[in-house]
Amino acid sequence: MQIRQASIEDIPSIMQILDDARNFQRSQGFIQWEDGYPDTATIRSDITTSNARVFLSDGKIIAYVYLSVGDNSYDKLKDAWLYDGSYGVIHRLAVSAGIRGQKISSALFSLIEDDYSAKGIGIVRVDTGSDNKIMQHILEKNGYEARGLKSFDWGSRLAFEKRL
């Protein structure tokens, strides 16, 4: 598996993966992403910032993530974090239905962390919905520390942090 910067040509594959993720959320009894979010305009914007990534297996796109450096909403929660310094934030992580359940989350997180490390960033933060038990388990399994339920600009979410 490998990670690379996403391109405009990847948008149809990315949108299918995001649709798969929204459907999976609903099958698990929760909605973290409202219908239509993230939309094509959001993904196009992600790509133009050069922070959008796709994961490939055998040359096929199998997952998507947006990796920001810092985030204004996270900055507002200064008391929530254990570590000071430059940090990255994992946004919009989604995997295709075809690979879900194949226990590749650790490989995805390793590639994400390598991407941030290559930029000299040693702290990674992420949030997820309180109903998203699968993502909470994945984060804890990969060494992310729970920082509690926090109020982000997009709603209440469980916050996690990891020092690389």
Main-chain dihedrals φ then ψ at residue 24, nearest 5 degrees:
-65, -45
> With contact defined as beta carbons under 8 Å apart, do 94 and 18 qualify?
yes
Please report the pLDDT score of residue 153 as a whole number: 86
State how far the Cα of 40 lies from the Cα of 57, in Å rounded to an integer: 23
Assigned token pair, 125: 């933060």
Q: What is the mean pLDDT of the chain?
A: 93
| CA distances, 31 to each of 21, 46, 164 (Å) | 10, 22, 30
Q: What is the pLDDT of residues 97-152, one digit of tens each?
A: 888 878 888 999 999 999 999 999 999 999 998 989 989 999 999 999 999 999 89
Integer Cα distance of 66 and 5 in angstroms: 10
Nearest CA to 136 out of 123, 146, 124 is that of 146
Whole-prediction pTM value? Answer: 0.92
- When pLDDT is cut at 50, 70 and 90, the band that residue 19 belongs to is very high
The answer to whether the beta carbons of residues 30 and 129 sit under 8 Å apart is yes
Residues paired with 63 in a beta bridge: 55, 95
Q: In this prediction, what percent of the chain has a pLDDT beyond 70?
A: 99
pLDDT at residue number 9: 98
Q: Average pLDDT in the 35-58 region?
A: 94
